[in-house]
C-alpha cells in the first residue's frame, strides 16, 4: 500500500499504518488540554460577530467541558464537539490529504 508523506509537525495526528491524518474525534480531550472554540454574538438582526476563544480544560462532565479563558479570566461551559485541540491539523488538510480509515487506530 502507498503511504502518504504529510509534512505536518505534530506526528501525533498522523496514522503510522497509512500515513493519513487521524480523525480528530479519535483524539480524547483531557483536563489540562489547550483548546479553542468559537463564540458568536448577535449584533443586530442581520449581523453576527464570532470570535475565537483559547482556553484550558478545567473539568469534563459527560459531553460538557468547563474551559477557562485566561485572557479574559472567564469560564465557559461548552459541548465537547464544539472544542478543538490547539495544534490539530486545519480542516483544509483533511480535504487535501484525506482522513485515516484504519480500524485499529
Residue 93 C-alpha cell reads as 488538510
Query: What are residue 52's DSSP bridge partners?
Result: 38
- Look at residue 69 in the predicted model and tell me its pLDDT: 94
Whether residue 35 is found in the same domain as residue 80: yes
Contact status, residue 18 vs residue 1, Cβ threshold 8 Å? yes
Residue whose C-alpha cell is 509534512 = 7
- Look at residue 58 in the predicted model and tell me its pLDDT: 96
pLDDT of the chain, 105 residues: tens digit per residue: 455 556 566 677 888 888 888 887 656 889 999 998 988 888 888 888 988 999 999 999 988 999 999 888 999 999 988 888 887 877 778 888 888 888 765
3 belongs to a structural domain: no
The residue range of the domain holding 14 is 8-23+87-104
Taking the CA of residue 76 as centre, how many other CA atoms within 13 Å lie in the half-sphere pointing to its CB? 23
pTM above 0.85, yes or no: no
- Look at residue 26 in the predicted model and tell me its pLDDT: 59
3-state secondary structure of 103: coil
Q: How many CB atoms lie within 10 A of CB 11?
A: 8
1 belongs to a structural domain: no
CATH of the domain at 38: 2.30.30
Whether residue 65 is found in the same domain as residue 99: no
Amino acid at each position: 500500500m502507498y503511504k502518504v508523506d504529510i509534512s505536518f509537525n505534530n506526528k501525533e495526528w498522523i496514522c503510522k499504518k497509512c500515513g493519513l491524518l487521524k480523525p480528530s474525534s479519535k483524539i480524547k480531550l483531557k483536563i489540562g488540554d489547550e483548546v479553542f472554540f468559537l463564540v458568536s454574538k448577535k449584533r443586530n438582526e442581520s449581523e453576527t460577530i464570532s470570535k475565537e476563544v483559547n482556553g484550558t480544560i478545567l473539568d469534563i462532565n459527560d459531553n460538557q467541558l468547563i474551559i477557562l479563558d485566561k485572557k479574559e479570566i472567564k469560564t465557559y461551559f461548552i459541548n465537547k464537539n464544539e472544542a478543538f485541540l490547539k495544534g490539530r491539523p486545519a480542516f483544509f488538510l483533511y480535504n487535501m490529504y484525506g482522513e485515516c480509515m484504519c480500524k485499529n487506530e
